[in-house]
Chains A and B, each alone.
Chain A
């Protein structure tokens, strides 16, 4: 579904990705874990053709228009209301405006449809950005730190939505530096540190491999063991 082969990317003298290779299978939640600056967003930018790698190859088995994208910088139109923001994309995709209302309901923003985006809280903006990403029922969904800076209950709501999307067959590629989130959601994770892959696999299995199972698999312990550094 999503494949990267020996990707190398540098910005000036700084190498941000070194021989990164992985494969995400259809219908799974694939987690990319690492500290800020590890190269997670660069991988999403390369996969969505916003950046070209210096070396290596990458492939997504669907067209870019069949993907959904949610980034830290949400790109929402502050002066338009929530519904109009989604209707812009409904018009681009050639789908009914009814889908915009449905997407707002799915993320719990149905009652805020007519509210200007500039007046929304960060959590509401995140949910609206997610509604825009899922508006056209994408086959692949890229989520860059989807719950970053959110309160636990809003984050919980987004987790449920992500799990619901997976049940409908959507492949989800998410980046996070929240290990609990990764253990809870991901079928497969890749630990990235300073642009290099330090470990990858099924979360419970890699924790087992590194003796990091307490009551629940402890990915953070694996990360510290592999990199010598914590996440925060």
Chain B
């Protein structure tokens, strides 16, 4: 527990000074706000929540995967992880500390998306539930990529194709039914599913997300067993 707390505090301080990571948590809500207010509002052809769900999906699919994997890859590349492990930090404690900060930041960004979307109270809770569950999935996926990547450059190279599919898939799905049927299995698409029809409830989307989380956890365990966190 001491290790988790130490890594959480370290990562929280580091993230406030890491512009390239911090910007991802600010940029997507700002773009959603701008597009919603200046493009969607007053335009009968565009739903008021369209840009919120679009940016929220891209945020969960891209920003969180990128953040998790680059943070881990940087600590490996600079050999910081080696000193933590020798000081007694268990790999799971390290990953919980890093993941905890990214999850906390994503909750703040998700609140911003929820506010911009103008959801009612029940809708807001449903939206937050899928966003937080999606964030958990992305952090696990990002950590898996971070374990495989030797450095930050490799982390970006490995994560980008995955992030593009998961982040932009739901956006393309809004205009193409075939794509929609394919990306329906992705956790990022469930944000669209929930927002498009709040009355249908969140049981089905949440179950899809948690199946994704289960599959990603298995991938993470395999990656960790093979590569560990050694640099």
Contacts and interface: CB of A to CB of B under 8 A. Distances in A.
B82 A64 contact: no
Interface string A63-106: 01101010101111111100010011101111000000000000
A93 B2 CA distance: 8
Interface string B143-178: 000000000000000000000000000000000000
Contacts of A94: 2
A50 interface: yes
A188 interface: no
Contact of A73 (B6, B79, B89): B79
Contact of A79 (B2, B9, B14, B81): B14
Nearest to B89: A92
Among B6, B9, B89, chain A packs the most CB atoms within 10 A around the CB of B6
B10 A88 contact: yes
Interface string B1-24: 011011101100110011000000
Contact of B6 (A50, A67, A80, A88): A88
Nearest to B5: A91
Among B9, B84, B88, chain A packs the most CB atoms within 10 A around the CB of B88
A87 B10 CA distance: 9
B87 A89 contact: yes
A220 B9 CA distance: 47
A92 B80 contact: no
Nearest to A142: B86
A71 B78 CA distance: 12
Nearest to B81: A75
A132 interface: yes
A48 interface: yes
Among A65, A73, A132, chain B packs the most CB atoms within 10 A around the CB of A73
B129 to A, nearest CB: 32
B151 to A, nearest CB: 13
Contacts of B18: 79
A73 B76 CA distance: 11
A69 B10 CA distance: 20
Among B14, B78, B83, B86, chain A packs the most CB atoms within 10 A around the CB of B83
Given A77-B80, A92-B6, A94-B2, A69 B86 contact: yes
B15 to A, nearest CB: 9
A84 B13 CA distance: 9
A92 B230 contact: no
Given A50-B230, A71-B79, A92 B88 contact: yes
A89 B81 CA distance: 12
Given A88-B9, A91-B6, A91-B9, A77 B14 contact: yes
Among B3, B87, B88, chain A packs the most CB atoms within 10 A around the CB of B87
Contact of B13 (A71, A74, A75, A80): A80
Nearest to A71: B79
22 contacts: A48-B86, A50-B230, A65-B86, A65-B87, A71-B79, A73-B78, A75-B78, A75-B79, A75-B82, A76-B80, A77-B10, A77-B14, A77-B80, A79-B17, A80-B10, A88-B9, A89-B6, A91-B6, A92-B2, A92-B3, A92-B6, A92-B84
Interface of A: 48-50, 64-65, 67, 69, 71, 73-80, 84, 87-89, 91-94, 116, 132
Q: 10 tightest A-B contacts by CB?
A: A91-B6, A79-B17, A75-B80, A75-B79, A73-B79, A88-B10, A65-B88, A92-B6, A75-B83, A92-B87
